[in-house]
Structure 1
Amino acid sequence: MTATPPAAIRIRGLRKSYGGRDAVSGLDLTVASGEVFALLGPNGAGKTTTVEILEGYRRRDGGDVAVLGTDPGTAGRAWRARIGIVAQSANDLGDLTVSEAVRHFATCYPAPRDPGQVLDLVGLTAKAGSRVRTLSGGQRRRLDVAIGIVGRPELLFLDEPTTGFDPEARRQFWDLIRLLNAEGTTILLTTHYLDEAEVLADRLAVIAAGRIVAEGTPASIGDREAQLATVTWSDAGGRRTEQSADPAVLIAKLAAAGPVADLTVSRPTLEQTYLTLIGADR
């Protein structure tokens, strides 16, 4: 019998406050090894604080946290070599070229990827000789990703990684995430793009006011699968809409009654479910 691999991230009762105000309040979360997990929530919900605690950059006030089996609050250099980080913003790299920047960070890891290969993966080969300060916002974001993956991390933290990307660049980035995950990298992603979460994540959680309010697959979050389906069609009487718990039965009934055109079946989108969960639809 094959043993189940340990969780990449395990959080129990995580708490963090600032000036007496709770930013994270008793948060529980488990991310399995090898999965892509998306953490969603509005600004100020506690996402970035949680991620920074997991990365070892911020101390917690309470709770138990294990990342790759180690408490990030006391972890050392060997542990850091096992994780990759793409933060919301990064410090300027001065007058280094793009190639020099990636090669510099590659020296921090015991078995890095080839820097040239990394530049190709993130679409920056043509900019290898350019100074970092000359890059556009989207190109600089690609460099952040390159630096985050050059060390072959077991666990990659992506904090709103595609901010500033155009649609084509975002989809190229999605392909990169799929590639990294296929190689065995566990990925924790925060994003405000719900289509990105739906496309990439095996599972996701919605955080609001420092707590997890829902968790599951993109299809099941907030009981999306159990919500009434909206069936819309056209017949001799015009355009019609009806909600049904079992759309297949309704469709069969319509077909038996006569010609039906332009038939569509839809359930609440991830965006609609997310807005309900965080209370933004009230």
Structure 2
Amino acid sequence: MRRIAVAGASGLIGNALVRSLTADGHEVRRLVRRAARGPQEVCWDPEREYVDAAGLAGCDAVVNLAGAGVGDRRWSEAYKKRIHDSRVLGTRALARAVAALDEPPRVLVNGSAMGIYGETGERIADEDAPPGRGFLPELCVEWEAAAAPAEEAGVRTAFARTGLVVARQGGAWGRLFPLFKAGLGGRMGDGRQYWSYIALHDEVAAIRHLLDRDDLSGPFNLTAPEPLTNREITEAMGRVLGRPTVFAVPAPVLRTVLGEMAGDVLGSARVVPRRLLESGFRFAYPGIDDAIRAALA
């Protein structure tokens, strides 16, 4: 049994990770933004860079998946600041708390996103690809850099650069499923932009792979091996759900409704998990049809 602290435990990925860890008999300490209600909770306030470090004592590992939802609302300047601070300040606070422990954990798996690469077009991006430009790429660079105190203290640190998670419960697919089930789904823009996705099951398995392997550190793309275009994913959704996909959302409409965030919907991210595959990780649901079916099961 291991003792693992998880920040962002109430989110889509964090909740699934906690269920997986506890099912295998591990002890999980959840970081909460209120007074702790027992030894299984650790009080923290990411925006104020506060962590009750005593609650992390004795933990073998820390997983940080906390952050305000990127797709939860239109990006005002105030909300962009919240997206930034919840990730960068929270990561820095957690990394400093970990580094200050007399016996720090062996590993920190810190959240990140494939958004670090920005617009890739047809170009394939593995972990050696340079960061892109714009709000999300610059945020991701700063987010990963904020973990430096833990790395400098000798804690093995891995970054989970997550793609679009295929799940019913939340994220992009949580919004897509109701539309497609109602027969209102369709491609976005011209549909030629690449979407790099990952089944929720594989996301959790990949994070646990990074926790378990003492030889793995640095960035890892958590995406399925073969990115697909939005048009191909639209066809798969219709195929699996047995619904028509005749509707299309024109790019100008998306830009009007979503504002700056439309760039991520219309942009192309052809991201591949080279380092994850080289480390021996095997995907349970590498294809989009199976990933969709797994989300519906």
TM-score between the two structures when normalised by the length of structure 2:
0.29
Larger strand percent: 1
Q: Decide which structure has the larger Cα Rg and report it.
A: 1
TM-score norm. by structure 1 comes to 0.30
Q: Where is the helix percentage greater, Structure 1 or Structure 2?
A: 2
